[in-house]
Structures are given as C-alpha cells and as structure tokens.
Structure 1
Amino acid sequence: MNDKHLILSDEELTAYIDGELSDAEVSRIEAILHSNERVAARLEFLSRSGLPFRQAFEPLLAAAPKTELDAMLGVAPHDAKPAAARSGRRGFLGAIAACLVAGVVADRAFISIRNRMRAPDESSEWRTVVAEYIALYTVDTLAGPSPSDDARAAQLARLDDRLGLSLSPQAVSLPGIEFKRAQLLQYDDKPLAQIAYLDPETGPLALCIVRSDVGTKEPDVEGRHGMNVVYWSNPTHAFMLIGRIPIDRMQELAEDVRKRTSA
C-alpha cells in the first residue's frame, strides 16, 4: 500500500514526538509524514496540544474492564503489567486504544492552552481549540444509544455544579437533532461544558460553554475547519454552537438555545 494511504495511530505519533522509537521506525514514520498531509496535521496537533494524558484519562482507565481487555488483546495473565507500572504517554495511549476497542471510551479529553479570555479581541482562542477538537469527531464517535431522560438530566446537573449555570434538558434541546451526551472538559484550568448531538444529515454537532468575563456579545458567525460556528456571550459565560449544518439553520438553533439559557 502506498504511504499516502497509511494512517498512523496517536500512540505511534506520540512515541515519535517523545523520541521513543528506533531509527528504522523514525525513518518509516517520516516517510509517511512527507506523503500524507492528514498524518502530518495530526502530528502537529499532538505536538502543540500539551495534553496531560494521565490526568485526563485516569478516570476512564480506572473504569476499564482490564481482564476483558487483556483477553481481547491476547495478554496472558502472567504477562499483564499492573496499571501503576505503565508510564509515559505512549503507554496511556495504548491503554486508551484498548478502551476504544472495548467500547468504553468516554471522551474525557483535557483541553489546555493559554487563556486570554480577559481580552475581548482575543476571546476567539477557546473557539479555535474547540473547533480543532470537534473536527476530529465522526458519526462513529457518537454512535450508540442516546441517554435516557434521567441520565441526560444527571449529566447536565454535573455541568451546572462546575459552571454555575443551570442547564435543563429542555434548555439545550435541538429540534430534530439527537442529544448524545454532556460532559465536562477543561480549558486552561476553567471548566468547559460540551454537549454533543448527532444530526441525521450532517453528523456531529456541539454546544460548548465556558466561563467568561468579556461581557455580553450578540450572536456572530464564523467558519472553522469546514464547520459553521455561531457564538455569543452573556455577562458570565461564552457559548458556541459548532457543526456542519447550513449557517442559516445554525443561527436559528443558536438563537433558540440563547433565549432558553438566558431565561
């Protein structure tokens, strides 16, 4: 197969970044990087992301069914290493990959860059980071059953505790679009809420909210990574709705959410 069509795993790319590979492996990866723009872009993202993998994924790894995962991966019991012995980003990414195989990954990515939310003309930085992250989503990312009404309310309640913002299921519902999950990420030591949806026609969609003191801003639009973004803020929080839905429809959805979350 031509190198142009090869895709490297995050584990391999991270090992390359960390200098953990042999000369032969380095040569192989560099050949792929020269011929595959998608892999090169992913390497750039991982190189500058500064993601603290251990902190971000410890809850996920702790909850993973280790015995079942080892069996799936063909690891004999006497060869399996205790979790405490696994170190480095490469080991963590390998464990996370195993969780993906088992279907237990919960998307606990930890987003961290410098926060300049105090400067109104620089408040787009958080949207840049979120757009880079959401651009990685596919329909398969949000596959599986949607949460029950009770589970959805419980997920939103956890966001309320950290954001200081009351979010009811009704306030964040999008007509004709399936609610998939609500989770808490982190943006430079600040809680960042991500509510993910799946549109039957255009795929993943997300409403993201972060604390902000840039002041009230009326809704505006922009394009990022091939997606449409509608963003606005009130005196205490900044919001963005991002997805591939046509911009006119996105504005309608965002306006409905804006009215319901400010009521």
Structure 2
Amino acid sequence: MTGNTPADAPAPRAIVFSDLDGTLLDHETYGWQAATPALDRLRGAGIPLILASSKTAAEIAPLRAEMGFAHCPAIVENGAGLLPPGPAEAAPDRSAYQRLRAALDAIAPDLRHQYRGFGDWGAAEIARRTGLPIEGARLAAQRQFSEPGLWEGSDTGRAAFVAALAQHGVTAREGGRFLTLSFGGTKAGRMAEIIAHYAPDATADPATAPRSLALGDAPNDREMIEAADHGVIIANPHGTPLPPLPGEARVRTTVPGPQGWMHAVLDLLSDLL
C-alpha cells in the first residue's frame, strides 16, 4: 500500500473502519452529514477513518474527500481491493477486473449464460437493478477487482458454476442482492494490512498496535466487526439485521444510520482518548 504516512510517524491511538450504506450513509438519502461531530473529532485527534464498502473506488473517492479523509486508504469492492490515500487516479488499473471477466468467459457456455454481471449490463441496467441514479450506476460500473451479478439457473447449476470458477482462482460470495465474483479478499482481511501500514512495529510489539473500531449494519459486515477490538452494530430497520454473535460484547445502536454512528463513535472515543 502506498500512502503519505511518514515512516517515523507515531502510530495513531485508534483506527476506525466503517461500512457505508445504512451505516455512515443514511439508508434513504445517502447523506452522512448527521455524523459530522464525530468526523470532526476523528480528524482533530488524528484518527484515520477507513471506509469499507462494496462500492467501487470511483464511488468511494469523492465521498472520502467530502468527509475530509482523502489522506486515508479505503477498502473497496467488499475487500477485493484497496483505494490508496490521495486523489483518485485518472486512469485506474483495471487489469484484475479484466482477468476476472476473462475467467468468467472461459467457463462452459451453458454455465456462463446463466450468470449476468455488471460488465454484461451497462449503466442503465445497473441503475434499474440497484435503484442507483444513472450517474451513480456509471461509477458502480467502474470496477477494478470484482463482478457482482445474478445467477439465473438452478441451485445445482450454481454449484457447478462456482466450482468451475474456482479452477481459475475465482471465489463467489453471496450477498444480500448479488453473487459477487473476485480473486479473494475481505473487509476483515484488509484490516490487518491497513493496521500494519499505520503501525509497522506492532507485529514485533503488539502493545504498540492502535485500537481498532469497526461499524456495520449487515451480515456482510460481520467478519469486520468480529475482527475489531471494538465492534459496533448499527441498527438496520430496512434490511436483515446482524444476528447475535458468539460471545457478543459489542455495542448495538438503537438509532440507524449516521446519527447512530455519530453517537457510537463519540462514546467510544470518550473511553479511548
């Protein structure tokens, strides 16, 4: 990972990892402004905010800049890739996505024809399938690491489809809406990589590692929440909530979206700082 953190800079006391839709972004308006007091506190304390979402780098980069955290990396496409700190690239590297699409097209046609992904649809169909405005759909189509789509065949056929892709090193993860293909990577797996970026001495001396906070609202955030020192489950009245987790000792908000996010982060920061 590249970035602008000097090699001799002290590690931050904490790092916050956050899902976006329904967590830091309002479910209806996609606004984040209700979380402004907590975002200001993070910036003032020098605590990185790592946005972690199924969104593409093209979608996350402007949001990250608006929030004032362009100096922080972000986890994109559900952990299949990372967005480095700094301004968005004018011509991002899409070679991994091109290899993914080539692997998809290399499997037997009778299986391939039963799966349709973002690369098959175009912006108008992505907008129809997701409810995104057309400009948002164009950004969602700028994929670098993964391919969401729909399987339109039988369960038996899907198992054969997934097995065929595995021979090309491609994994398939079922989300709330799409079957997403990638060469691997999860939000939780990227957390360790980012913590090591900010605290390279933590491997030798774990006492120097920053405390990690993770916030999310849906089942695909579970691994990230469980991997953090402090996990926060944001209320999710619009979708499938996270079930009780084994040995749960985590915060569950009663208020959804950025307002619940703000209160949870401010409460945790008051204990940590």
Same fold (TM over 0.5): no
Q: Which has the larger radius of gyration?
A: 1
Give the alignment's TM-score, normalised by structure 2. Answer: 0.27
Give the alignment's TM-score, normalised by structure 1. Answer: 0.28
Larger relative contact order (CA 8 Å, sep ≥ 6) = 2
